[in-house]
Amino acid sequence: MSMIKITLRRGLAGKDKRFKIIAHSLGLNKTGSSVILKDTPQVRGMVNKISFLVSCSNVEDKDVNA
- CA triplet 64, 53, 50: central angle to 5 degrees? 90
pLDDT by residue (tens digit) across 3-31?
Answer: 999 999 999 999 999 999 999 999 999 99
Q: Domain locations in the chain?
A: 3-60
Domain spanning 3-60, CATH architecture: 2-Layer Sandwich (3.30)
CB 22 within 8 A of CB 49: yes
Burial of 53 (C-beta count, 10 Å sphere; 0-12/13-18/19+)? buried
Amino acid at 11: G
pLDDT by residue (tens digit) across 32-58?
Answer: 999 999 999 999 999 999 999 999 999
